[in-house]
Structure 1
Amino acid sequence: MRDHRNLGAYCDGGIFTISVWAPTHDKIFFHPINGKEMEMDKEGEYFSLELEGSKDSDQYMLNVDGNILADPLSRYQPRGVGGPSILVDTSRFKWSTDRWEQHKMDEQIIYEMHLGTFTMEGTYRGAENKLQYLKDLGVTAIEIMPLSQAYGTRNWGYDGVFPFSPSYSYGLPSDLAHFIDRCHSVGLSCFLDIVYNHLGPVGNVFPSFAPYFSNKYSTPWGQAINLDGPYSGGVREMLLANLSYWVEDYSFDGFRMDSTQNIYDSSPRHFLSEVTNLVHSLSSRLGRKILIIAESDKNDVSIIRPPEKCGLGFDGVWADDLHHSFHSYTTGEKAGYYSDYGNFSDISYTLEHGFLYDGKYSKYLKASRGTDFSGQNPSSLIVALQNHDQIGNRALGERISTLVSFEELKLGASVFILSPFTPMIFMGEEYGETSPFWFFMQTEDRKFAEIVNSGRRREFKDFGWPDKIRDPDSDSTFMESKLKWSEDAKSRCILALYKDLIQARMDYIQSSGRDNWKVLSEKNVIKISYPNTELTVIHNFAHEPVKVSGRVILNTSSPRFGGSNTNSGIISEPGSVLAIQS
């Protein structure tokens, strides 16, 4: 199998070589912006050329049947999807350390961020200024929303069309390497959100080179990737090389793989199995922990089962049942997929069993959904009070902090962080950010912009949200999505709570052998006990206080967290969480 050093333009020992997969073409020409066009040598399905005299930052394109196009495996596109590609010598990146703090799956506290809205600067360098803050919060890993170059100057990243090219919107490739190096220096891992189910609709040059797309399958966002049809071997090879590239050239520590249910493959060995095998092989060869997390709406434990038990071997999977259960119960929302949720018992059941839909019939899907989670490692479920989807894919982009009371917000934070599962925090959540996180993009094509708007309005109909939505292409939509970093009294209380919750989790839950947790639910009160550390967490959703005994570890109703409970007795106030040790 070709790796990333044999695909696209790569520098070895100061000499650049370019390799292009184009199995249905007879000729491909290398087209330097400042130089003479050269025909590339063909060998089998590949065209290659040693680029004598070329240097880092040189611009080039490729001539395919008379069409001058960017390299689909370009390492950098500083003038956008229609501009020339740039040669990048990643061996020139400067790294301050080759050893850094690493965390297993059951030690993770993940922090999801969009680099363009995390700081006002919206750059790698701007984000570096907040890394020590995240470490002090208790975060172990940053998960960056997709970086692959997409159309326009701003985008969520899921419409990328150059999978090897980090977006120019956030800085240079060397700035990305510096950002990851700084993460490692302060003790943070860095995960990348990757999209292998489709490519974006604007600026996509792949079809001009090879049959990268399937004629059998489609996704909600366009053609599916060709993983099992004619020439699919070259497609799989490219995607696997992309994984190696991010790990070996940029030192990423893991991945979140977008919408795996839309990655279609009928091959004897599923592509996703190859993905996890490669990631774990890289981890073993490089001697560092590299994790791979799937996004899936299937509640299917085969995703996280090891290959020897007929599973795909992912280290973790996003699990939405706990979010949907808490959100629907506290906000009263019952439209769209929330129609499957809303009962108090849904929260307690999910905390006990991992999946609410573990084979049950879904009224929303009109079909049974999910599998039994029993016997699985609870740390393999990634749960979140908020994430980019559950905020940005609302018509008004509201955060949970604007939808529930202050006490319910604190209760929600505790439900997720003190659960047996792996918690993920969405940027700004830790201090109660109230600014919306809209869906945004930027394009000069007004027709395309209206297609996007129309599609989102159709999605929102199920939820009964307003038909008039915020224009994703507006400058103000993007600017209003940036974090405001409030430091008022309320924000300080929420931030203090998040720090203490994470510390309590590290002290009493991560070390407790979470396969042994127990859940008791009665009269709108949920008690989770971790026998190995004698910790009990009491989530009081009721309207009456609950008296308990034990040593108080944390009480969300205390003045430190903006509450008014100064009672010397051990009382769980209505709408609060009390963590005690027997």
Structure 2
Amino acid sequence: MATTFEVWAPLAREQVQVEVDGSTVPMTRSGDGWWRARVDQATHGTAYSFRLDGGEPRADPRSRWQPDGVPGPSAVYDHDIFAWTDQGWRGSPLPGGVIYELHVGTFTPQGTLQAAVDRLDHLADLGVTLVELLPLAAFPGHHGWGYDGVGLYAVHQAYGGPDGLKTFVDACHARGIGVCLDVVYNHLGPAHNYLSEFGPYFTGKYATPWGQAVNLDDPGSDEVRAFIVGNALGWLRDFHVDALRLDAVHALHDERAVPILEELSYEVDATAAHLGRPLWLIAESDRNDARTVTPRETGGLGIHAQWDDDVHHALHALLTGERDGYYGDFGSLPCLAKTMTRAFFHDGTWSSFRGRVHGRPVDVEHTAGWRFVAALQNHDQIGNRAAGDRLSATLTDDQLAVAAGLLLTSPYTPMLFMGEEWGARTPWQYFTDFADPDLAEAVRNGRRNEFADHGWNPEDVPDPQDEGTFRASRLDWTEPEKEWGARLLDWYTTLIRLRRELPGLADPRLNQVEVTYDEDARWVVIRRGDFGVVANLAGAPATVPLGAVVDEATGRDGVVLAWHPDDTHTTPDYHAEPNVGPHSDSNPDSNSADKDDVTQIQLPGHSFAIVGLRP
């Protein structure tokens, strides 16, 4: 069997050779900078590398398999060998879905895709519909977050390589779960990054915080863009992946008339039509600009959804009281009310963190809430804290339950971070495995200096190169078996089930969300269709007016679900009360309800309820 090897290497001056199992074969150059050679007896698993102008052997920039890691040779990979069983898979809808973000290396003690397969029944029982994997592209060392990838087409071998990913996707589909990959196109990692020897993949015209900016609009950028688009389509087509999360798209500097994001969304939509199943692009963007998720036909970029950090900031600051850094403008109930109805808090308003006006208003009449991915916790918001501490290190279980209730009844697409569903006590810290001691020290010092600038003690920052930092970040799978873990897990599972069964709780129409609150008493009521989502954020009991009459035919005396500090679901401590105050029969003109109608609920401190309401 023969294999055609090809590589785009316009910077090679005289020759490119492909080394195949110890033999050197000259390649033929075409006018577009591509070099090609056909080699007999090169089959699945055959090792190969490229030499440019007699230099050191380099891995294929488009290698699908790096069995010895990124420094080693590439290997021929035949996609047709894997035996898929998901022929009946029709895709995972993003509207109405629930995303679960996980890092393969710390999700299980083994840190492999196969070990993650063994935990998929947990995710199926939880009710998630889309598993988002942190970057899998081949990166140096054994463990890391994955954002320093350099072999963008290959699956990190320590996780299981390309077959490991296919096995994982196939197993997810068998359980009705879609798969999303986190992909990084704005930069490459600093170690074993040799793309600049092949072609003009990078530009000095722009800069990113993490490395050289990718060339998207200078000479040679046509092939660089094709490299990115081809990578994206390959995951979706060849690995049966359902969605891609695009890392930090605000760092994809691009002045061309058709931006790379618009080009990518067009190609992905065309591929979805060809494959006959939905495919999704989810952008991480800090621009607070809904044009990212506006259809191309109406002047947008056509990305299907984007992360909404403002929802996270609003909930985090409100629950924890933190106001440092970018939390400075957040933390009030009016802020929460705005983010629950307008998607962004900063939508053309002053940002004290940025020192300027930030964001753009969302057209809530025409932009669905499911296009915004909201989270209480994610890899960034935990891992970029000095100690990598989760919310469970700051909040009580009651507060965690209230937070989950607010997230999972919101008009947005909720995303959980692995272990959140049981209130995991393990941290999730920043860890690396660079072999170069100078690079390792630079990362170590840079991390400490960054946190010192934010007021954290540098001595409290774990050493990212210490393997103990990596090990400490692994989930402890005995925790969900403990009483506190099991209770929170049941709470999350029930909320996700109700979100699926009661359409009002997942209604994405932002213009239908109504929020009332009392900043001093610290309660909030969010109207979601025929339901009132009620949260008492204070430690003291509160009598909360619902603004409507309780539908006592729903649930237990109108209460569908409730969290009490001592119990879950509906208990005698959750009860709706007859009209009092402004809605009592002493003030009959203020409300048309009968005197026995219930229009308020009494909640203990740090509690939550979903209440059925009459239209």
For residue 72 of structure 1, report the CA deviation from its aligned partner.
1.6
Query: Which residue in 1 is equivalent to 2:379?
Result: 388
Change in Cα spacing, 1:370 to 1:437, as seen in structure 2 (3 Å) is same
Query: Which residue in 2 is equivalent to 1:553?
Result: 560
* Inter-partner Cα distance in structure 2 for 1:513 and 1:385: 18
For residue 172 of structure 1, report the CA deviation from its aligned partner.
3.0
SS at match of 1:155: coil
For residue 558 of structure 1, report the CA deviation from its aligned partner.
6.8
SS at match of 1:329: helix
SS at match of 2:541: coil
1:265 aligns with 2:272: no
Length, aligned pairs only:
566
Letter in 2 for 1:357: H
- Contact 1:70-1:84 within 8 A present in 2 as well: yes
1:112-136, Cα deviation, whole Å (9 max, x unpaired)? 0000100111111100011121011
Letter in 2 for 1:552: V
Aligned residue among 313, 321, 338 for 2:327: 338
Aligned residue among 463, 466, 479 for 1:474: 466
* Inter-partner Cα distance in structure 2 for 1:503 and 1:83: 47
1:514 aligns with 2:509: yes
Query: Which residue in 1 is equivalent to 2:118?
Result: 129
- Contact 2:46-2:75 within 8 A present in 1 as well: yes
SS at match of 1:340: coil
1:379 aligns with 2:370: yes
1:475-495, Cα deviation, whole Å (9 max, x unpaired)? 111111000021110001100
Query: Which residue in 1 is equivalent to 2:431?
Result: 440
Higher alpha-carbon deviation: 167-176 or 178-187: 167-176
Letter in 1 for 2:311: L
Query: Which residue in 2 is equivalent to 1:499?
Result: 493
Change in Cα spacing, 1:15 to 1:554, as seen in structure 2 (3 Å) is farther
For residue 422 of structure 1, report the CA deviation from its aligned partner.
0.6
1:16 aligns with 2:8: no
Letter in 2 for 1:20: V
Letter in 1 for 2:216: L
Query: Which residue in 2 is equivalent to 1:60?
Result: 48
* Inter-partner Cα distance in structure 2 for 1:60 and 1:566: 69
1:334-391, Cα deviation, whole Å (9 max, x unpaired)? 2111222222321122112111111100111001111111321111110000000000
Q: Gaps spanning 5+ residues in structure 2: where?
A: 552-557, 577-600
* Inter-partner Cα distance in structure 1 for 2:165 and 2:568: 36
* Inter-partner Cα distance in structure 2 for 1:43 and 1:53: 24
1:132-189, Cα deviation, whole Å (9 max, x unpaired)? 2101101000000000111100111100001001001111311211111000011000
Higher alpha-carbon deviation: 253-262 or 16-25: 16-25
Letter in 1 for 2:300: G
Aligned residue among 264, 281, 290 for 2:279: 290
Query: Which residue in 2 is equivalent to 1:529?
Result: 527
SS at match of 1:440: coil
SS at match of 1:75: coil
**Identity %, equivalent residues:** 36
SS at match of 2:387: coil
Change in Cα spacing, 1:38 to 1:362, as seen in structure 2 (3 Å) is same
Letter in 1 for 2:462: R
* Inter-partner Cα distance in structure 2 for 1:567 and 1:413: 19
Query: Which residue in 2 is equivalent to 1:11?
Result: none
- Contact 1:557-1:565 within 8 A present in 2 as well: no
- TM-score under structure 2 normalisation? 0.89
Change in Cα spacing, 1:263 to 1:476, as seen in structure 2 (3 Å) is same
1:416 aligns with 2:412: no
Query: Which residue in 1 is equivalent to 2:593?
Result: none
Change in Cα spacing, 1:101 to 1:413, as seen in structure 2 (3 Å) is farther
Query: Which residue in 2 is equivalent to 1:3?
Result: none
Query: Which residue in 2 is equivalent to 1:400?
Result: 391
Aligned residue among 532, 541, 546 for 1:544: 541
* Inter-partner Cα distance in structure 2 for 1:348 and 1:268: 37
- Contact 2:411-2:508 within 8 A present in 1 as well: no
Query: Which residue in 1 is equivalent to 2:422?
Result: 431
1:30-56, Cα deviation, whole Å (9 max, x unpaired)? 012x33201011112111112211111
Query: Which residue in 2 is equivalent to 1:37?
Result: 24
Change in Cα spacing, 1:462 to 1:418, as seen in structure 2 (3 Å) is farther
- Contact 1:504-1:553 within 8 A present in 2 as well: no
- Contact 1:111-1:143 within 8 A present in 2 as well: yes
Query: Which residue in 2 is equivalent to 1:205?
Result: 194
Change in Cα spacing, 1:437 to 1:565, as seen in structure 2 (3 Å) is farther
SS at match of 1:556: strand
Letter in 1 for 2:495: L
Matches within 5 A, 1:82-481: 82-100=71-89, 102-375=91-364, 376-468=367-459, 469-481=461-473
For residue 568 of structure 1, report the CA deviation from its aligned partner.
5.4
Letter in 1 for 2:442: I
* Inter-partner Cα distance in structure 2 for 1:122 and 1:109: 23
SS at match of 2:89: coil
Q: Over alpha carbons, which structure has the higher Rg?
A: 2
SS at match of 1:107: coil
* Inter-partner Cα distance in structure 1 for 2:351 and 2:455: 19
SS at match of 2:515: strand
Letter in 2 for 1:37: T
- Contact 2:411-2:506 within 8 A present in 1 as well: no
* Inter-partner Cα distance in structure 2 for 1:435 and 1:554: 29
* Inter-partner Cα distance in structure 1 for 2:524 and 2:573: 23
SS at match of 1:37: strand
- Contact 2:47-2:76 within 8 A present in 1 as well: yes
Higher alpha-carbon deviation: 55-64 or 18-27: 18-27
Q: Gaps spanning 5+ residues in structure 1: where?
A: 1-13
1:518-557, Cα deviation, whole Å (9 max, x unpaired)? 22223422111123xx111112223332256342111011
1:49-78, Cα deviation, whole Å (9 max, x unpaired)? 122111111111111122221112111112
* Inter-partner Cα distance in structure 2 for 1:252 and 1:278: 15
* Inter-partner Cα distance in structure 1 for 2:247 and 2:492: 27
* Inter-partner Cα distance in structure 2 for 1:511 and 1:381: 13
Letter in 1 for 2:40: E
* Inter-partner Cα distance in structure 2 for 1:456 and 1:580: 46
- Contact 2:48-2:74 within 8 A present in 1 as well: yes
* Inter-partner Cα distance in structure 2 for 1:558 and 1:405: 10
Letter in 1 for 2:24: E
